[in-house]
Amino acid sequence: MVWGSFRIKWVLVFFLCGLMVVCQLPFLQLEVSYGLSPGVEGGTHQLLGRAIDLYTQKEPYGGKGANQSSDAFAPQEEVVLYAYVTYNEDPVANKIVYFDIHGPINSLYDVSFTRTATTDGGGLANVSFRIPWPAENAETIVFGTWTVVTNVEIAEETVIDTLTFEVGWIVEIIKVETVDVNNLSKTNFTKGEHMNFRLTVKNIALVEKVATLILNVYDELEFLLGVVIREDVKIPLGVTVYFIEDLLIPASAFVGVGVVYANAYDVFGAAWCPEVSTTFRIIRLIERDVAVIGVIPSTTEVFTCHVVNVTVVVKNEGDITETFDVSAHYDSVLIGTLPVISLPSGLERTLTFGWSTSCVPVGDYTLSAVASTVPGETDVADNTFVDGTVRVMSSHVPPVVSEIPAWLIWLLVTLIILVAASLFISIALLFYVRKKKRNSNAKVADPVTFEGKKYKTCIKCGREFLDVRTFCPHCFTYNG
């Protein structure tokens, strides 16, 4: 009996609790449907079904919804503000809507103003204005985040909504730079060189934009060097860097400081933003070039073990003073190497190499000279000069005698013949005289003795002379 009464008590308790829950359901539903939504401060304030939604004409990102942001606006662009007033999502007509508009915070000028509008039958009120553009410090005053607060009173209760949007150049070229082919910064260029560009572009809109990017390049005297155009470039949201190639600097460009002007245009040809520029330098190409312009041997024929002086003439055909080495060769054999120190631009210098032909085989040899390549030199064809040949001869061979004139040869032959004839006649006369003497030996008188000396008489003149003589001293006749 005790257990039964205890069970009855608990059943009654559960029944009463369930009854209380059922009785409270209508009130819970009413509180959910008509209760306060969070966010009175800085957002849509919904009170017992009351609501207002503030947005702009920038579809699809106009800012619909509580406390949303709209897409960006450009200077002097029209801004249309819409306020949609509802009660339980049903439009409320003929309500005065208050618009409080504030420009970006700055130290120069506070752009703030208010407007009002009345909702139509569809619960919609709107006002419009243009982004101002002061004559001075416009970007400082206007560019930045704008804030609009709107409110409306419905049955003695006020609801509000807040909207923000950015004002600035929708597409803006932040920076233009000159670079090389590898997209590395480069500010010095020479005539005939290609220059490339790097553009930093910013898009503050919430959607992709399309722009035509144009670069105009001028030299120091403001002559146009060329134009680079990139059409229909898609500019995504945020900051994007573009590598743009390329422009050839013509040979007619003037040396000095050049300028690149960069612009961005929309599909209608209107400028997205102000022009941006950068400078660069067109420099004179410093040419480095040395050359051998002559190789001159002291002789074209030489005997072995003799020295040939090889004269080499070099020239600095570049723009700066150069120091380099010069080597002389016969065929592929090195004769020697001499330095050329500090040769000014445009001048020549003469070097002399002594070539000893000792141990050089007999033959013909080609002479040449080579100047070493200086840093940055591109024209190396004239660094080598090849001259003619030098003949090396054996020292046992007499040198070649130059040709003797014919008249001199005939004269020499005639003289030789005359001398030979004279000798022949003289020898014949001598034999004739000797033979005649032998024939007349028998007629010669006996020598006469006088004072102990023997004398003999000439067979021709009859005079006497010492016997020891063979020829008569008086008539030179042979007397044996």
Buried b (16+ CB within 10 A) or exposed e, 28-50: eeeeeeeeeeeeeeebbbbbebb
Show me where the domains of the chain are located: 50-167, 171-283, 290-393
CA 219/CA 225 separation, integer angstroms: 7
List, for residues 268-319, the tens digit of each pLDDT value: 999 999 999 999 999 988 888 999 999 999 888 888 888 998 999 999 988 8
Strands 384-393 and 301-303: parallel
pLDDT band at 387 (very low <50, low <70, confident <90, very high): confident
Band (378; pLDDT cuts 50, 70, 90): confident
The whole-angstrom separation of Cα 313 and Cα 113 is 87
Higher pLDDT, 132 or 477: 132
For domain 171-283, is the CATH number 3.40.50.880? no
Instruction: Please give the pLDDT value at position 439.
Output: 60
Q: Which CATH number fits domain 50-167: 2.60.40.10, 2.30.40.10, 2.60.40.1930, 3.30.365.10?
A: 2.60.40.1930
405-463 pLDDT, tens digit per residue, is 888 888 888 999 989 988 888 887 877 777 776 665 544 445 555 556 677 788 878 88
CATH code of domain 290-393: 2.60.40.10
Element containing residue 91 per DSSP (H, E): strand 90-91
Beta strands in 236-347 (DSSP E): 238-248, 256-265, 276-283, 290-297, 301-303, 307-316, 322-330, 333-343
Distances (CA, A) of 233 to 171, 203, 237, 264, 337: 11, 12, 13, 10, 61
Rg (CA), the chain: 63
pLDDT the model gives residue 5: 46
Nearest-angstrom CA–CA distance, 92 and 52 = 10
- The reported pLDDT for the residue numbered 305 is 84
Tell me if domain 50-167 and domain 171-283 are identical in fold.
Answer: yes
In this predicted model, what pLDDT tens digit does every residue of 162-184 receive, in sequence order?
Answer: 999 999 999 999 999 999 999 99
With CA atoms as reference, report the closest residue to 212 among 244, 256, 238, 184: 244
pLDDT on residue 24: 44
pLDDT of 476 reads 75
For residue 9, is pLDDT > 60?
A: no
Average pLDDT, the chain: 85
